[in-house]
Structure 1
């Protein structure tokens, strides 16, 4: 009996080899991880005495399009590109909260309650942040946030404000965009710190106040 090999076997083998090669290529692509927290020792802290209060930086909300493991870059035509080899070290909301906490601790000389658990009667400034836009674009980063500061167990007035920060990237690539967002978050924390001190931070250097209002009790 004449047994003729089925002609589709070579095609299946070729397809399997091509798929294996493609998967091997993806596996070998290096993955880079980024954080929004500024490395210790690289950010200057304002001189001043230790604050007589603590801060409580609450969990942060971030927009869904940006809340991905990988960096999402907005293009000029309105499309968004996912950089699958460029990823956040932690969920984006945690990255933003951590960066704001670090910056506020430096600005105010105050500890975060997540670092040292305070007594129930301790003086605390509570900080809540809702990020409206967290954009990485070629050559720039934008941060648009609504935020609230409220005193607990101490005198002071609560505020609700909205601030937009536009920060140019000093370089090309993902690391330059992440560094731009680090600077934007530091500037936002500076505006929050001024509000906690009872002052109004002036606009400038890419920072724009959209408005502030007293918090209702």
Structure 2
């Protein structure tokens, strides 16, 4: 085998090895007690609307962020959120409220907001970051 062929073969092996990568993992939030069926608009009292959950900028990103020590964040390259974190938190919170308050009307994200009075739940998360 000539030197040229050996170099070509070595280059092809290196190129194929570069194509092999770690598969991306997708994370999601879920309610421990999911709502069995969509809430009806027949609940008692004022309907409850859950606003979009505000997340801190250091974790409001596509990839999972973990705390490494006191002053260092690590952004995972192959672990990412399946959807925007604030939107997932809003959905899970609405599901949890609907399960905990079965006699109330809890509107799910995307439901039309009523014209009349309603209760608005606003959440501003201050810290939500795992540490290693």
SS of structure 2 residue aligned to 1:84: strand
Report Cα offsets for 1:58-93 as digits up to 9, x if no partner: 122212221122211111253222233322121111
- Over 3 Å counting, the alpha-carbon distance change for 1:98 and 1:22 in structure 2 is same
Indicate the residue corresponding to 1:107 in structure 2. Answer: 100
Higher strand share: 1
Indicate the residue corresponding to 1:161 in structure 2. Answer: none
The answer as to whether partners of 1:62 and 1:93 remain within 8 angstroms in 2 is yes
The answer as to whether partners of 1:37 and 1:102 remain within 8 angstroms in 2 is no
Q: How many residues align?
A: 121
Higher helix share: 1
**Quick check: 1:67 aligned with 2:63?**
no
The answer as to whether partners of 1:55 and 1:113 remain within 8 angstroms in 2 is no
Unaligned runs of 5+ in 1: 1-6, 43-49, 139-217
- Over 3 Å counting, the alpha-carbon distance change for 1:131 and 1:19 in structure 2 is farther
Could you say what the CA RMSD is over the residues aligned between the two structures, in angstroms?
3.1
- What is the CA distance between 1:37 and its match in structure 2? 2.1
- Aligned counterparts, 1:26-105, within 5 A: 26=21, 29-38=22-31, 40-41=33-34, 50-105=43-98
SS of structure 2 residue aligned to 1:18: helix
TM-score, structure 1 normalization: 0.45
Q: Which has the higher contact order (CA 8 A, sep 6+)?
A: 2
Indicate the residue corresponding to 1:120 in structure 2. Answer: 115
Mapped to 1, the partners of 2:44 and 2:11 lie a distance apart of: 66
TM-score, structure 2 normalization: 0.69
The answer as to whether partners of 1:70 and 1:84 remain within 8 angstroms in 2 is yes
